[in-house]
Structure 1
């Protein structure tokens, strides 16, 4: 015999469907952003004119620095003004961001073998999918883990900046391994956080909050991929 009134059961099913629709919208936009970045990176790899526009004999050109730094401004706009942006406007900014990141990523991949790039991408995609599933279905609250990972992320950024001066290959490998663990944990945490966000506030699946969620998971995936690439990357 059904323990719950029919109306309550129906509302629960509708809420689950709405949550599924929200998370699906987030992941679709995240996957679209990854595809846009991959296409932009491939364009840089295949186009010598674009390569020379971004990277010169002495390093990055002015255009290269603009492409590298412009995404920071877009992240600030998305993060600070997400509630004032319409869904289409937020999605446009997300895909512009993904394009710029892809162009920068393309310059980084120029000296790395195709096999290393594909292997790292495949491992990142498989790991991300598994961790997102764990985060979405975990019954345990991961908020404590999120706080720990946030502190770890700050420490990792400081260490990466320090290694720009030290130029230690061994330290770079250690930091890459820590990056894999860190962004693996953040993937699970952020997925659960998005689920809780929906249950608390029920944002629209086609609104700007879903876009911000897609950006968060996109950054988790991107950093997981780059960390794996630094561990396994082989020069051409």
Structure 2
């Protein structure tokens, strides 16, 4: 699943100093922050200005599956383009962010602002904690790769099956598992990005490409974590 191959046993550490690593992650988070702002703006416009159009676009199972496939396709293209053309990859990341905003609009229409805000704050806190752990830990988290990606596939398959045979208990279980999986995925991706930086440090184009790739992966972790937490808040909010 890694788009950049590197040797875990003998990393090519070109510039291991903390200042270079910090500068790299500032760039990653600036790109990720832009993507989140674009998604937030797209969702706001979707809810306040283009609500009818978004509902028409996403009503029914087939349009939703098309939207999901489109989102996944752009994500894969952006990940593959990072090394060869970071500028194009950044453009694809922004396009991805707009489409994700449209996708999230349908969720936001079913939630009140207080629930959305609480879910966002919870997501930011959990994401920040797990990202910090992934950055500072001395453990090699690459061994978790198969388990995490297998879990993500299971979540996708389980979610699609539950669309056809909806069960509230399964919905709750998938939401809880989703939070756990993407919290761990956040730590894993941060740990992997640190190792990837050590491979390309000092190579301007490659370093820029890895930064865009990192922004995409962390953006996806944050968005998925937010969606599952929002679903949990919605479940327990409805029970109140």
- Same fold? TM cut 0.5: yes
User: Does residue 220 of the first structure (1) align with residue 193 of the second (2)?
Assistant: no
Match of 2:30 among 28, 31, 53: 28
Gaps of 5+ in 2: 1-12
Q: Which 10-residue stretch deviates more, 195-204 or 154-163?
A: 195-204
The list of structure 1 runs, each at least 4 consecutive aligned residues, that deviate by more than 6 angstroms after superposition, is 11-14, 61-66
What CA deviation, in whole Å up to 9, does each residue of 1:65-99 have, x standing for no partner?
765543233212212232221x3322221111101
Work out the CA distance in 2 between the residues paired with 1:94 and 1:129.
Answer: 21
Q: Paired residue for 1:186?
A: 185
Work out the CA distance in 2 between the residues paired with 1:41 and 1:134.
Answer: 30
Q: Paired residue for 2:75?
A: 75
Give 1:16 deviation, angstroms: 2.4
Q: Paired residue for 1:200?
A: 199
Work out the CA distance in 2 between the residues paired with 1:219 and 1:174.
Answer: 21
Match of 2:48 among 39, 43, 46: 46
The number of residue pairs the alignment matches comes to: 222
Conserved 8 A contact 1:53-1:64 = no
Q: Which structure has the greater CA radius of gyration?
A: 1
**Structure-2 change in CA distance of 1:145 and 1:14 (3 Å):** closer
User: Does residue 110 of the first structure (1) align with residue 103 of the second (2)?
Assistant: no
Conserved 8 A contact 2:131-2:190 = yes
Conserved 8 A contact 1:54-1:61 = no
**Structure-2 change in CA distance of 1:66 and 1:167 (3 Å):** closer
CA RMSD of aligned residues (A): 2.6
